[in-house]
């Protein structure tokens, strides 16, 4: 009796050990973190967006600016140097939107909540795709705003803001996101 009772947990431990030893070496594995997924999301989103004519021409890179506390860390390595619209993705961490002069992508961290309005004002009219992941950012004028629903990443789109900046979102992208403040005459 004791033999069996003692053996059952030991057996389970062996099972655990076996899993640890054998499973990791086999197979390609992935357990993405939230920002790992968001990084790739940004890369994928950009493919569906048209920047105004010539705005991307001057440079061989497309820069992703991270404004404020960087939640991505090394997660952005996955998309660095990948190509969007034939341009290499560069990543730049900045403290102030003043550094923004050219076309690009701007991720606004939730740490910038308090000065969001000033930030957006500072880049009005520039062909910059603004992205956030903080509640109510889309309503405040950020073009793409991530949120999590049922543990899955979703995004809101503020199309008005995109139009103002001269960015064109493909209809495929619009279908996948949730529209915030859609333009008049069109259905969201």
Partner 1 sequence: MTGAFSSVLTRVRLCFIKGCIGSGILLLACLTILNPAADAAKNGNNAARDLTNLDLKELMEIEVVTVYGASKFEQKITEAPASVSIVTSSEIKRYGYRTLADILQSIRGFYTTYDRNYHYLGMRGFSRPGDYNTRFLLLVDGHRINDNIYNTAFIGTEFPIDVDLIDRVEVIRGPSSSIYGTNAFMGVINVITRGVNDLKGMEVSGEAARYDAYKGRLSYGGRFENGLEAVASGSLYDSKGQSDLYYREFDSPATNNGIARNADGDRYHSLFSTLMLKGLRLQGAYVSRDKTIPTASWGADFNNTGTKAGDERGYLDLKYEHIFDDRLNITTTLFYDYYRYKGTYIFSGVPNKDDTDGRWWGGDVKFTTRMLKRHNIIAGGEFVDNIRQDQSNYDEQPYSLYLDDKRNSRSWALYVQDEIKILENLILNAGLRHDYYDTFGGTTNPRVALIYRPLEPTTIKFLYGTAFRAPSPYELYYSDGNVSSKANPDLKPETIETYELVLEQSLGKGFRMATSLFFNKIDNLISLETDAADGLDVFRNIERLETKGVELELEKKWDNGLKGLISYSYQETENKQMDEAVTNSPRHLAKANLMVPLLKDKIFAGLEEQYVSKRKLLNGSDTGSALITNLTFSTQNFIKGMEVFLSVYNLFGQTYEDPASREHRQDAIEQDGFGFRLKMVYRFW
- Mark the segment that binds partner 1 (CB under 8 A) among 49-57, 60-68, 91-99, 111-119: 111-119
Q: Which of 21, 44, 63, 161 binds partner 1 (CB under 8 A)?
A: 44
Q: Please give the Cα distance from 145 to 168 (Å, whole number).
A: 16
Q: Does 28 bind partner 1 (CB under 8 A)?
A: yes
Nearest to 85 by CA among 62, 102, 55, 63: 62
Q: How far is CA 115 from CA 37, 68, 75, 118, 122, in A?
A: 26, 11, 25, 5, 11
Q: Does 23 bind partner 1 (CB under 8 A)?
A: yes
Q: Does 164 bind partner 1 (CB under 8 A)?
A: no
Contact indicator for 90, 63 with CB cutoff of 8 Å: yes
12 vs 164 by CB, closer to partner 1: 12
Q: Which of 60, 96, 124, 136 binds partner 1 (CB under 8 A)?
A: 136
Beta bridge partners of 34: none
Q: Which of 73, 122, 183, 188 binds partner 1 (CB under 8 A)?
A: 73
35 vs 55 by CB, closer to partner 1: 35
């Amino acid at each position: 009796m004791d033999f069996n009772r003692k053996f059952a947990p030991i057996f389970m431990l062996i099972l655990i050990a076996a899993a640890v030893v054998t499973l990791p070496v086999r197979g390609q594995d992935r357990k993405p973190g939230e920002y790992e997924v968001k990084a790739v999301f940004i890369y994928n989103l950009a493919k569906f967006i048209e920047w105004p004519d010539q705005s991307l021409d001057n440079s061989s890179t497309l820069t992703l600016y991270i404004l404020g506390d960087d939640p991505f860390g090394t997660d952005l390595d996955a998309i660095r140097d990948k190509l969007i619209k034939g341009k290499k993705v560069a990543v730049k961490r900045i403290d102030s939107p003043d550094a923004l002069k050219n076309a690009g992508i701007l991720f606004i961290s939730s740490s910038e909540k308090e000065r969001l309005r000033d930030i957006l004002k500072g880049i009005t009219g520039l062909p910059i795709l603004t992205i956030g992941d903080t509640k109510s950012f889309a309503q405040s004028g950020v073009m793409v705003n991530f949120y999590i629903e049922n543990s899955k990443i979703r995004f809101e789109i503020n199309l008005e803001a995109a139009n103002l900046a001269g960015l064109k979102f493909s209809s495929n992208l619009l279908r996948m996101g949730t529209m915030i403040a859609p333009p008049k005459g069109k259905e969201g």
